[in-house]
Amino acid sequence: MSDITLGTITSKVRAGERLSFDDGVALFRHPDLLAVGQLANEVRERLHGDRTYFNRNMRVEVTNVCVASCLFCSFAKLEEGSPGAVTMKLEEAWRELEVRMSDPPAEIHIVNGLHPGLPFSYYEELLKGFKRIKPDVHMKCFTAVEIHFFAQHYGMTHEQVLVRLREAGLGSLPGGGAEIFHPEVRTRISHDKATAEEYLEVHRVAHRLGMATNATMLYGHIETFEHRVDHLLRLRALQDESMSAPARLQAFIPLAFHPDGNGMKNLPAPTGIDDLRTLAVSRLMLDNVPHLKAYWVSMTPKIAQVGLRFGADDLDGTIVHETIYSAAGSTSPSGLKYDQLVRLIREAGRIPVERDTLYNVVREHAPEALPESAFKVKDRKAEKHLVVL
Amino acid sequence: MSALVDRAITAAGLAPIAAARRAGDLAQVRALAKVLDTADLLAVGALADRIRKDESGDVVRIFANAHADLGPDVVAVSLADGTKSGHAVLRRVAIARITGPAAARVRIDWSESGLEVAQVALGFGASELVGPIANRRGLPIADAATLKVKGAGMVSAQALKKRELESLLTMAGRRAVFVSSKVGLEEQPNV
């Protein structure tokens, strides 16, 4: 893409004009990553200044038994009883929270396999049990793919499923399960679960019911840049529809594909440049979604931190115990301490803001001088080479 | 280099140091270097990347041994303090390029930084990578190890990793040259 074209896109962004499909593809293909990052950073700072959000959350995966056979998944086991298959008893799941009540999470994030043998009441009791232990905990549970599975499996509408789960304590929906919407990709990597239209419909219904949601995109496998932009535009269109609803998409989370232990293990691991470029283009294309997460579990804490200069304004949370990405070979830790998140954000020159799930501010930390200034180049003539200290 | 980045470099207060570097006045560059500690990271990176492109070109030399082929023009970016800050790593790399000698060989060890950050560092002034040829989990593997790769039959596992490195560099808009630590032999990419 020529400089003039980037100039055209820059003019559109600064004028608040919506970017087109071709603009999005051009941004993915632009050779100057830092230029694309600069533009995304402009938008990020216009929306949020230096504020960077995170929360105290905890991941629980109560079952990895799953009827779907997604090629990218290293987490799911197809049948109960197969090696590695786990389904928690309700008491075991609740125990995950009970043992952390000295420093409790504000949010519990539950994502599971599509288990064909559990009654719907299992999920209702699961939520109710967590709320009994900590009544103010926010339950961000079950992807749109799971909600669609529940509707099919238990003979209900999406709305009926969501209403019953909300009565049991559900607060909002996480964004997982979106993968890549375009059928050229989706039919190849995840043919036997909710379609793009079904995923989007669950979110649409949730918004109509006043339930906030997030959305994701799994990138870095067999998809093209065109498929990525198509994905972003479908989410942007959904958000346009939901602007008149009582709730909408809160955050978009690009998820890097990790190849270990799954049906696409011949593909290369994700790259830092692709992570940063995808964040930046997402920020520029999704002009109606307020928050963009650099999910440190997916892209490592270091790249996620750099992502705070490429459009992202959120690092997710402490997470505590993550198993889905670790099963796929991610080298990220399974949890970060509160202070580590604050430090990562401060070292990026941003202001850490602890939030709740719905982006209400819990605590805004004071900005602090960058603690990275103690280095300089020293020319040691007696040595063979220069060292940066 | 786009006009947007040019403006960002100027807006970050880096025009004087850029001019000093262009004039080859290293003493002046180093006298002005304090601004690099706090200026916008992407602007600092863009300046470093411009200097790298002008002085060192697009070739990335890759070494398995961090102590290989050391010379007066090598600037090894030390991450020995174990920083977990990707932001700090990239700033160090960029400062090394901007304040280092002309056509410096700015080197980063991916076993310290992580491969993802090392790749991004190539856009912040780095021109050499060092680290073990390794499998995806970061464990060194034997030269002779082979793997069955879908669609490619049995291939050398080390070559596979080299392919991944080459792919990373291609995505970064660069060209890889592997350098043997034993004889200094430069290999063109495996294809």
Q: What is the mean pLDDT of residues B122-151?
A: 62
Partners of A35 on chain B (C-beta within 8 Å) are 1-2, 4-5, 46
Q: What pLDDT is attached to residue A376? A: 33
For residue B155, pLDDT beyond 90: no
Q: What pLDDT is attached to residue A324? A: 60
CA–CA dist A385, B106 (Å, integer): 11
For residue B161, pLDDT beyond 90: no
Residue carrying the six token digits 């608040």: A16
Interface of B with A in 81-100 (CB under 8 A): 83-92, 95-96, 99-100
Q: What pLDDT is attached to residue B186? A: 53
A162 close to A142: Cβ distance less than 8 angstroms: no
Reported ipTM: the value is 0.80
Percent of chain A with pLDDT over 90: 72
pLDDT band at A338 (very low <50, low <70, confident <90, very high): confident
Q: What is the mean pLDDT of residues A112-122?
A: 96
Residue A309 is part of which domain span? 3-364
Domain assignment present for residue A388? The answer is no
| Collapsed DSSP state (helix, strand, coil) of residue A22 | helix
Which parts of chain B fold into alpha helices (H)?
3-11, 15-22, 26-31, 41-56, 86-99, 110-113, 115-121, 157-171
For residue B142, pLDDT beyond 50: no
Partners of B94 on chain A (C-beta within 8 Å) are none
CA–CA dist A85, A81 (Å, integer): 6
Q: Which residue of B has its CA nearest to A329?
A: B137
- pTM metric for this prediction: 0.86
Chain A touched by B65 (CB under 8 Å): no
pLDDT band at B166 (very low <50, low <70, confident <90, very high): confident
Q: In chain A, how many domains are there?
A: 1
Q: What is the mean pLDDT of residues A91-98?
A: 96
For residue A378, pLDDT beyond 50: no
For residue A87, pLDDT beyond 90: yes
For residue A123, pLDDT beyond 50: yes
Q: Best-predicted range by mean pLDDT among A105-114, A380-389, B162-171, B178-187?
A: A105-114
For residue A212, pLDDT beyond 50: yes
Q: Which of B8, B45, B78 sits opposite A388 (nearest CB)?
A: B78
Domain ranges of chain B: 57-187
pLDDT band at A379 (very low <50, low <70, confident <90, very high): very low
Q: For residue A20, what is the domain's CATH number? A: 3.20.20.70
pLDDT band at A175 (very low <50, low <70, confident <90, very high): very high
Instruction: Please compute Rg for chain B using Cα positions.
Output: 18
pLDDT band at B20 (very low <50, low <70, confident <90, very high): very high
Spell out the residues 6+ positions from residue A294 whose beta carbon is closer than 8 angstroms to its own: A279, A303, A304, A305, A307, A308, A310, A312, A314, A315, A316
For residue A170, pLDDT beyond 50: yes
CA–CA dist B119, A95 (Å, integer): 41
pLDDT digits (tens, 9 = 90+) for A251-270: 999 999 887 767 777 777 67
Domain assignment present for residue A379? The answer is no
Partners of B154 on chain A (C-beta within 8 Å) are none
Q: What pLDDT is attached to residue B38? A: 93
Chain A touched by B127 (CB under 8 Å): no
Percent of chain A with pLDDT over 70: 88
Q: What pLDDT is attached to residue B96? A: 96
pLDDT digits (tens, 9 = 90+) for B54-81: 999 999 998 877 777 788 889 988 887 7
Which of B10, B14, B41 has the most A C-beta neighbours within 10 Å, making it the best mutation to test the interface with A?
B41
**CA trace torsion B23, B27, B29, B31 (10° rounding):** -150
For residue A107, pLDDT beyond 60: yes
For residue A327, pLDDT beyond 50: yes
